Amino acid sequence: MQKKIAVINDIAGYGRCAMTVLLPIISYMGVQACPLPTSIFSNNTAFPNFFMDDYTDRMEAYIENWERIGLTFDGIATGYLGSVRQIDIVKKFIRVFSRKETLVIVDPVMGDHGRIYSAYTAELCTELRKLVALADIITPNLTEACYLLDIPYREKGWKRNELFDMAQKLSEMGPSHVVVTGIVQGEFIANYVYVKTEDGKPNAGLSRIHKTDSERCGTGDVFAGIIAADAVNGIPFDKSVKKAAGFVRQCIKKAVELKTPPTDGVPFEEILYQLKRG
Protein backbone atom coordinates (compact mmCIF):
# COMPACT_ATOMS: atom_id res chain seq x y z
CA MET A 1 0.00 0.00 0.00
CA GLN A 2 1.07 3.59 -0.61
CA LYS A 3 2.53 5.14 2.53
CA LYS A 4 0.90 8.08 4.31
CA ILE A 5 2.22 10.98 6.37
CA ALA A 6 0.05 13.17 8.59
CA VAL A 7 1.36 16.69 8.01
CA ILE A 8 0.61 18.99 10.96
CA ASN A 9 1.36 22.59 10.09
CA ASP A 10 -0.16 25.90 9.06
CA ILE A 11 -1.34 26.85 5.58
CA ALA A 12 -0.31 30.06 3.83
CA GLY A 13 -2.28 30.98 0.73
CA TYR A 14 0.67 32.91 -0.71
CA GLY A 15 4.41 32.92 -0.10
CA ARG A 16 5.63 29.34 -0.33
CA CYS A 17 6.05 27.92 3.17
CA ALA A 18 4.70 25.33 5.61
CA MET A 19 1.87 23.17 4.21
CA THR A 20 1.91 24.67 0.70
CA VAL A 21 5.52 23.48 0.38
CA LEU A 22 5.27 20.22 2.28
CA LEU A 23 2.25 18.75 0.49
CA PRO A 24 3.56 18.88 -3.10
CA ILE A 25 7.06 17.76 -2.16
CA ILE A 26 5.92 14.79 -0.07
CA SER A 27 3.36 13.85 -2.74
CA TYR A 28 5.92 14.03 -5.55
CA MET A 29 8.15 11.68 -3.57
CA GLY A 30 5.45 9.02 -3.72
CA VAL A 31 3.91 9.43 -0.26
CA GLN A 32 0.31 10.44 0.43
CA ALA A 33 0.36 13.69 2.40
CA CYS A 34 -2.61 14.15 4.74
CA PRO A 35 -2.90 17.74 6.03
CA LEU A 36 -3.95 18.62 9.57
CA PRO A 37 -3.98 22.46 9.64
CA THR A 38 -3.03 24.40 12.76
CA SER A 39 -3.84 27.84 11.33
CA ILE A 40 -4.69 29.38 8.00
CA PHE A 41 -2.88 32.47 6.71
CA SER A 42 -3.69 34.59 3.69
CA ASN A 43 0.06 34.86 3.07
CA ASN A 44 3.22 34.18 5.04
CA THR A 45 4.25 36.48 7.87
CA ALA A 46 7.24 37.89 5.97
CA PHE A 47 4.76 40.32 4.43
CA PRO A 48 3.78 43.41 6.47
CA ASN A 49 0.09 42.40 6.56
CA PHE A 50 -1.69 39.07 6.72
CA PHE A 51 -5.00 37.47 7.72
CA MET A 52 -4.83 34.54 10.14
CA ASP A 53 -7.48 32.07 11.29
CA ASP A 54 -6.38 30.01 14.30
CA TYR A 55 -7.55 26.44 13.72
CA THR A 56 -6.86 25.15 17.25
CA ASP A 57 -10.54 24.89 18.25
CA ARG A 58 -11.26 22.72 15.19
CA MET A 59 -8.26 20.43 15.38
CA GLU A 60 -9.69 17.97 17.91
CA ALA A 61 -12.96 17.42 16.01
CA TYR A 62 -10.95 17.02 12.79
CA ILE A 63 -8.71 14.42 14.47
CA GLU A 64 -11.68 12.56 15.99
CA ASN A 65 -13.09 11.97 12.52
CA TRP A 66 -9.77 10.58 11.32
CA GLU A 67 -9.89 8.20 14.28
CA ARG A 68 -13.48 7.16 13.47
CA ILE A 69 -12.61 6.20 9.90
CA GLY A 70 -9.63 4.18 11.12
CA LEU A 71 -6.76 6.10 9.58
CA THR A 72 -3.21 4.98 10.30
CA PHE A 73 0.01 6.67 9.27
CA ASP A 74 3.54 5.63 8.36
CA GLY A 75 4.78 9.06 9.38
CA ILE A 76 3.67 12.05 11.44
CA ALA A 77 5.42 15.32 10.57
CA THR A 78 5.00 18.45 12.67
CA GLY A 79 6.07 22.04 12.05
CA TYR A 80 5.35 25.38 13.71
CA LEU A 81 3.04 25.12 16.73
CA GLY A 82 1.95 28.42 18.20
CA SER A 83 0.50 27.50 21.60
CA VAL A 84 0.76 25.06 24.48
CA ARG A 85 -2.69 23.74 23.59
CA GLN A 86 -1.62 22.94 20.03
CA ILE A 87 1.42 21.08 21.33
CA ASP A 88 -0.81 19.10 23.72
CA ILE A 89 -3.16 18.21 20.85
CA VAL A 90 -0.23 17.02 18.75
CA LYS A 91 1.22 14.93 21.60
CA LYS A 92 -2.17 13.22 21.98
CA PHE A 93 -2.35 12.74 18.20
CA ILE A 94 1.02 10.96 18.25
CA ARG A 95 -0.11 8.67 21.07
CA VAL A 96 -3.37 7.79 19.29
CA PHE A 97 -2.11 7.32 15.73
CA SER A 98 1.39 5.94 16.21
CA ARG A 99 1.95 2.28 15.51
CA LYS A 100 5.20 0.44 16.10
CA GLU A 101 6.45 1.33 12.62
CA THR A 102 5.19 4.94 12.54
CA LEU A 103 7.98 7.52 12.31
CA VAL A 104 7.52 10.86 14.07
CA ILE A 105 9.38 13.75 12.44
CA VAL A 106 9.44 17.00 14.42
CA ASP A 107 10.69 20.24 12.92
CA PRO A 108 10.90 22.35 16.12
CA VAL A 109 10.20 25.69 14.45
CA MET A 110 11.13 28.37 17.00
CA GLY A 111 13.38 30.96 15.37
CA ASP A 112 16.55 31.62 13.41
CA HIS A 113 19.79 33.61 13.53
CA GLY A 114 19.84 33.53 17.32
CA ARG A 115 16.35 35.00 17.68
CA ILE A 116 13.23 33.22 18.85
CA TYR A 117 9.90 34.13 17.25
CA SER A 118 7.93 36.66 19.30
CA ALA A 119 5.10 34.20 20.06
CA TYR A 120 7.47 31.78 21.77
CA THR A 121 7.47 31.93 25.56
CA ALA A 122 9.54 29.99 28.07
CA GLU A 123 6.48 27.77 28.64
CA LEU A 124 6.18 27.03 24.93
CA CYS A 125 9.86 26.11 24.73
CA THR A 126 9.42 23.74 27.67
CA GLU A 127 6.42 22.07 26.08
CA LEU A 128 8.19 21.76 22.75
CA ARG A 129 10.95 19.81 24.47
CA LYS A 130 8.27 17.32 25.57
CA LEU A 131 7.17 16.98 21.95
CA VAL A 132 10.77 16.44 20.84
CA ALA A 133 10.94 13.57 23.33
CA LEU A 134 8.27 11.75 21.29
CA ALA A 135 10.12 12.14 17.98
CA ASP A 136 12.20 9.68 16.00
CA ILE A 137 13.70 12.44 13.84
CA ILE A 138 14.22 16.15 14.57
CA THR A 139 15.48 18.87 12.22
CA PRO A 140 16.31 21.96 14.31
CA ASN A 141 18.39 24.78 12.94
CA LEU A 142 21.30 25.99 15.04
CA THR A 143 19.19 28.57 16.90
CA GLU A 144 16.52 26.02 17.77
CA ALA A 145 19.08 23.44 18.88
CA CYS A 146 20.61 25.97 21.28
CA TYR A 147 17.24 26.94 22.72
CA LEU A 148 16.12 23.33 23.12
CA LEU A 149 19.29 22.65 25.12
CA ASP A 150 19.31 26.06 26.85
CA ILE A 151 22.88 26.80 25.78
CA PRO A 152 24.34 30.08 24.42
CA TYR A 153 23.94 30.70 20.72
CA ARG A 154 26.66 31.91 18.41
CA GLU A 155 26.58 32.23 14.65
CA LYS A 156 30.03 30.85 13.85
CA GLY A 157 33.04 29.06 15.27
CA TRP A 158 31.46 25.76 16.28
CA LYS A 159 33.96 22.93 16.61
CA ARG A 160 33.12 19.38 15.61
CA ASN A 161 33.26 18.09 19.19
CA GLU A 162 30.83 20.83 20.27
CA LEU A 163 28.42 19.91 17.49
CA PHE A 164 28.71 16.24 18.40
CA ASP A 165 27.88 17.03 22.04
CA MET A 166 24.94 19.17 20.95
CA ALA A 167 23.50 16.48 18.68
CA GLN A 168 24.08 13.78 21.27
CA LYS A 169 22.25 15.77 23.96
CA LEU A 170 19.36 16.38 21.58
CA SER A 171 19.22 12.65 20.87
CA GLU A 172 19.21 11.90 24.59
CA MET A 173 15.95 13.85 24.77
CA GLY A 174 14.32 11.08 22.71
CA PRO A 175 14.95 11.12 18.93
CA SER A 176 17.32 8.59 17.41
CA HIS A 177 17.99 10.76 14.35
CA VAL A 178 19.07 14.40 14.60
CA VAL A 179 20.18 16.92 12.02
CA VAL A 180 21.23 20.40 13.15
CA THR A 181 20.92 22.64 10.11
CA GLY A 182 22.27 25.99 8.96
CA ILE A 183 25.76 25.91 10.50
CA VAL A 184 27.89 28.59 8.85
CA GLN A 185 31.44 27.48 8.01
CA GLY A 186 33.11 30.06 5.80
CA GLU A 187 31.90 29.55 2.25
CA PHE A 188 29.92 26.49 3.31
CA ILE A 189 26.63 25.81 5.07
CA ALA A 190 26.86 22.63 7.11
CA ASN A 191 24.35 20.24 8.62
CA TYR A 192 25.43 18.05 11.52
CA VAL A 193 23.96 14.55 11.25
CA TYR A 194 23.66 12.22 14.23
CA VAL A 195 22.16 8.73 14.25
CA LYS A 196 21.89 6.66 17.41
CA THR A 197 22.76 3.01 16.73
CA GLU A 198 21.83 -0.16 18.57
CA ASP A 199 25.43 -0.87 19.54
CA GLY A 200 25.68 2.50 21.31
CA LYS A 201 28.22 3.94 18.85
CA PRO A 202 26.48 6.78 17.01
CA ASN A 203 27.09 7.60 13.38
CA ALA A 204 27.76 11.33 13.29
CA GLY A 205 29.40 13.90 11.07
CA LEU A 206 29.16 17.10 9.06
CA SER A 207 27.52 17.34 5.68
CA ARG A 208 28.58 20.56 3.89
CA ILE A 209 27.47 22.40 0.80
CA HIS A 210 28.53 25.71 -0.76
CA LYS A 211 26.23 28.44 0.50
CA THR A 212 24.36 30.79 -1.77
CA ASP A 213 24.15 34.55 -1.43
CA SER A 214 20.42 34.62 -0.75
CA GLU A 215 18.09 33.53 2.05
CA ARG A 216 14.47 32.72 1.38
CA CYS A 217 11.25 31.96 3.23
CA GLY A 218 10.21 28.32 3.34
CA THR A 219 13.56 26.65 2.68
CA GLY A 220 13.36 24.85 6.02
CA ASP A 221 10.00 23.43 4.96
CA VAL A 222 11.47 22.19 1.68
CA PHE A 223 14.22 20.49 3.68
CA ALA A 224 11.81 18.99 6.25
CA GLY A 225 9.46 17.67 3.55
CA ILE A 226 12.25 15.74 1.85
CA ILE A 227 13.47 14.33 5.17
CA ALA A 228 9.94 13.18 6.10
CA ALA A 229 9.19 11.49 2.77
CA ASP A 230 12.60 9.82 2.63
CA ALA A 231 12.21 8.55 6.19
CA VAL A 232 9.02 6.59 5.48
CA ASN A 233 10.51 5.44 2.17
CA GLY A 234 13.44 3.90 4.04
CA ILE A 235 16.19 6.14 2.64
CA PRO A 236 19.32 6.31 4.85
CA PHE A 237 19.29 9.48 6.94
CA ASP A 238 22.69 10.83 5.87
CA LYS A 239 21.79 10.35 2.20
CA SER A 240 18.48 12.12 2.76
CA VAL A 241 20.15 15.12 4.44
CA LYS A 242 22.56 15.55 1.53
CA LYS A 243 19.69 15.29 -0.95
CA ALA A 244 17.58 17.83 0.94
CA ALA A 245 20.45 20.32 1.30
CA GLY A 246 21.34 20.03 -2.37
CA PHE A 247 17.76 20.52 -3.49
CA VAL A 248 17.32 23.59 -1.26
CA ARG A 249 20.44 25.10 -2.78
CA GLN A 250 19.13 24.49 -6.30
CA CYS A 251 15.81 26.06 -5.31
CA ILE A 252 17.56 29.20 -4.07
CA LYS A 253 19.65 29.42 -7.26
CA LYS A 254 16.46 29.18 -9.31
CA ALA A 255 14.85 31.91 -7.19
CA VAL A 256 17.80 34.21 -7.89
CA GLU A 257 17.68 33.37 -11.59
CA LEU A 258 13.94 34.17 -11.77
CA LYS A 259 14.30 37.23 -9.53
CA THR A 260 11.72 35.80 -7.12
CA PRO A 261 11.20 38.18 -4.16
CA PRO A 262 12.52 36.67 -0.89
CA THR A 263 9.03 36.96 0.65
CA ASP A 264 7.69 34.60 -2.03
CA GLY A 265 9.82 31.64 -0.99
CA VAL A 266 11.55 29.46 -3.57
CA PRO A 267 10.11 28.34 -6.94
CA PHE A 268 10.59 24.65 -6.20
CA GLU A 269 7.88 23.85 -8.76
CA GLU A 270 10.37 24.73 -11.51
CA ILE A 271 12.81 21.98 -10.52
CA LEU A 272 10.66 19.44 -8.68
CA TYR A 273 11.40 16.95 -11.44
CA GLN A 274 15.02 16.86 -10.22
CA LEU A 275 14.00 15.46 -6.84
CA LYS A 276 14.63 11.73 -6.71
CA ARG A 277 12.36 9.46 -4.71
CA GLY A 278 15.16 7.08 -3.80
- Say what the pLDDT of residue 199 is: 83
- Say what the pLDDT of residue 211 is: 82
CA distances from 37 to 31, 102, 133, 223 (A): 18, 20, 22, 19
- Say what the pLDDT of residue 216 is: 87
pTM of the model: 0.95
CATH number of the domain at 56, please: 3.40.1190.20
- Say what the pLDDT of residue 232 is: 97
Neighbours of 216 (CB within 10 A): 24
Pair 225, 25: CB distance under 8 Å: yes
Give the contacts of 211 (CB within 8 A, at least 6 positions apart). 184, 187, 188, 189, 249
- Domain boundaries, position 147: 4-274
| Separation of alpha carbons 138 and 266, rounded Å | 23
- Say what the pLDDT of residue 131 is: 97
Q: What is the mean pLDDT of each run of 10 residues along the chain (278 residues)?
A: 96 96 97 97 95 96 97 97 96 95 96 87 92 98 96 93 97 97 91 91 91 83 98 96 95 94 96 86
- Say what the pLDDT of residue 41 is: 96
- Say what the pLDDT of residue 198 is: 84
| Number of structural domains the chain divides into | 1
CA distances from 229 to 5, 125, 188, 241 (A): 8, 26, 26, 12
